[in-house]
Amino acid sequence: MTIDYDVVIIGGSLAGRYAALAATKWHAKVALVEPQINYGFIYHHTLSEIANRLQSLNDADGFGIRTNHADIAEKCHISIAWQEAMLYANGVAANIQELNSPATLAALGVDVIFGRGEFQPTPHLAFAIYDNDEKSAHSPNHQVFRLLRGRTYLLASGSRPAIPNIEGLQATGYITLANIWQSLKKPTLPQNWVIIGGVPQSLEIAQTLVRLGCTVTLVIKHSQILPNIDPEIAQLLQAQLEVDGVQILTQTAVTQVKQIDDKKWLQAGDKAIETDEILVATGQQPNFASLNLAAAGVKWYQHRLVVNDKLQTTNKRIYACGDVIGGYDLTNIANYEARIALNNALFFPRLEVNYQHIPWGIFTNPMLAQVGLTETQTKRKFRDDEFLVLRQYFKSLTAAQINSDTTGICKLIVLRNGKILGATILGQSAGELINLIALAINQKIKIKDLANLAPIYPNFSEIITQTAQEYQQRLNNHPDVQDRLEGFFHFRRNWNL
């Protein structure tokens, strides 16, 4: 059998394009099969930035800036702001798409193939591209357009929204995380929203919408937002969202949706809610149902592919990364997995994933960022006397006071020997700050080294130094250490100079 490519990437996600670009830097021969990529996240981040600037404009009086409120109201009228915001977001999305376009990849040597296909296991493993998206090997009239033979394969096909089975939802209509911004073609933004689900992106969008002047109700089935993060941090973030105007209903399920005249109605727990639009954000479902994976010997469990620490599926020639193996829909984690999987696919399968030093973030305002273990996770692995929880609040920072961004907390989890286990930061610049701690964990830098940093003053990075310095203070407050220190200084004071 002739091998056409070193790796065939089944894409449909940014991680697929990232992997294809990385493969060209190794001078490998690579094919990228791609149906379509959704750039909705670019729209969200752009509109979120606009919403935050509008919020800053509304808060200008707090800085002693006197403005004509009538002028501000006119400038910030939602219909005008929405049209201008979408025009700007379209431009940003177009620029990003151009930077990562198939034409750019093709110019670098990637064989980009638009279409859909599936694995063909016999007589030799290959990926078949069909002449019609609706046809497949299971269709009697299918016809193979092209057969791609690779030494290895990488599944980076992304995911699609998982839609819950709620009575009346399909008939009434809804928007998903995949199409929310592109689907809103109206000259004005709908004013009343209900968001079903508490995934990270739903929190981001809820805050963006209220800052654009909308009314938002967020319905979550869990007892707190984001059940996998530190409860103390979750409570603080929830309080901020509620201050902004998001109504949050926890431990609540939507049981029915109806259309009455031109309004949509939801039954959420014991509440009947009238709304203009419904956003479903309950989770993602991997895109691999049509790839004929079972015939290729690839197994999955509960809607996620089974992979080992080297990101090999149960067929050792097929690797996977990103949404298809589960977890949050986070670009930096998917790209990290793509690097590991691609290196193993092109060379020898020796690298293993280690998520301990990989940060992730939620782009609320203030931002939430996390790396390593949380306090709850640490308690499951260590005894209470084996680790310390260090915390510092942003209100202690000069930079936070100057910028009026005092909402926030930094929590560091460390062993008593100074090893950093994890960190959670909620506050201004959290996304930048968490990267420093991630580097410290990756390079096995001890907490005392962070305490010895001398960051530029005033600066938000002081929060890391202040939190780290609490480690030595906590150790010094131990009764035995305190007795020794007092004895030492008593001796020094009475030493005959």
pLDDT < 50 stretches in the chain: 72-80, 134-138, 140
Of the candidates 284, 242, 278, the residue with the CA atom closest to the CA atom of residue 259: 278
**Distance between CA 190 and CA 79 in Å, rounded?**
10
Does residue 145 sit in the same domain as residue 251? no
Report the CATH number that the domain containing residue 388 is assigned in CATH: 3.30.390.30
Place of tokens 């007092």: 486
Query: Is position 110 within any domain?
Result: no
Structural domain boundaries, residue 140: 5-35+115-160+285-353
Does residue 272 sit in the same domain as residue 225? yes
Final residue belonging to a domain, choices 329, 353, 377: 353
Does residue 31 sit in the same domain as residue 135? yes
Contact (Cβ atoms closer than 8 angstroms) between residue 176 and residue 329: no
Is residue 369 classed as helix, strand or coil in its secondary structure?
strand
- Encoded tokens for 414: 């460390």
- Encoded tokens for 73: 């109201």
Does residue 383 sit in the same domain as residue 305? no
- What pLDDT is stored for residue 296 in this prediction? 94
Contacts of 107 (CB under 8 A, 6+ apart): none
Query: Is position 99 within any domain?
Result: no
Does residue 188 sit in the same domain as residue 56? yes
Does residue 16 sit in the same domain as residue 151? yes
Does residue 122 sit in the same domain as residue 23? yes
Answer left, alpha or beta for residue 446, where phi above 0 means left and psi between -120 and 50 means alpha: beta
- Encoded tokens for 191: 């004013």
**Distance between CA 286 and CA 289 in Å, rounded?**
8
Helix axes 479-493, 462-476, angle to 10 degrees: 80
Query: Is position 84 within any domain?
Result: yes
User: What's the number of CA atoms in the CB half-sphere (13 Å) around residue 188?
Assistant: 10
Does residue 254 sit in the same domain as residue 388? no
Burial code (b: 16+ CB inside 10 Å, e: under 16) for 448-477 equals eebbeeeeeeeebbbbbbbbbbbbeeeeee
- Cα 98 to the chain's mean position, in Å? 23
Beta bridge partners of 128: 118, 147
Final residue belonging to a domain, choices 325, 353, 381: 353
Query: Is position 489 within any domain?
Result: no
- What pLDDT is stored for residue 294 in this prediction? 93
- Encoded tokens for 179: 């199409």
Contact (Cβ atoms closer than 8 angstroms) between residue 460 and residue 433: yes
Final residue belonging to a domain, choices 265, 282, 299: 282
- What pLDDT is stored for residue 76 in this prediction? 43
Does residue 240 sit in the same domain as residue 126? no
Contact (Cβ atoms closer than 8 angstroms) between residue 413 and residue 372: yes
Query: Is position 497 within any domain?
Result: no
- Encoded tokens for 125: 């493993």
Contacts of 118 (CB under 8 A, 6+ apart): 127, 128, 130, 136, 137, 290, 291, 292
**Distance between CA 102 and CA 40 in Å, rounded?**
18
- Encoded tokens for 160: 């699609």
- What pLDDT is stored for residue 472 in this prediction? 83
Contact (Cβ atoms closer than 8 angstroms) between residue 104 and residue 89: no
Does residue 324 sit in the same domain as residue 272? no
Does residue 392 sit in the same domain as residue 459? yes
Of the candidates 479, 379, 462, the residue with the CA atom closest to the CA atom of residue 427: 462
- What pLDDT is stored for residue 134 in this prediction? 47
Query: Is position 457 within any domain?
Result: yes
Contacts of 454 (CB under 8 A, 6+ apart): 465
Contact (Cβ atoms closer than 8 angstroms) between residue 278 and residue 174: yes
The strand pair at 192-196 and 304-305 is best described as unpaired
H or E stretch covering 7 = strand 5-10
Burial code (b: 16+ CB inside 10 Å, e: under 16) for 123-143 equals eebbbbbbeeeeebeeeeebe
Report the CATH number that the domain containing residue 194 is assigned in CATH: 3.50.50.60
Domain count, the chain: 3
Does residue 303 sit in the same domain as residue 238? no
- What pLDDT is stored for residue 59 in this prediction? 62
> Phi/psi at 80 (nearest 5 deg)?
-70, -45
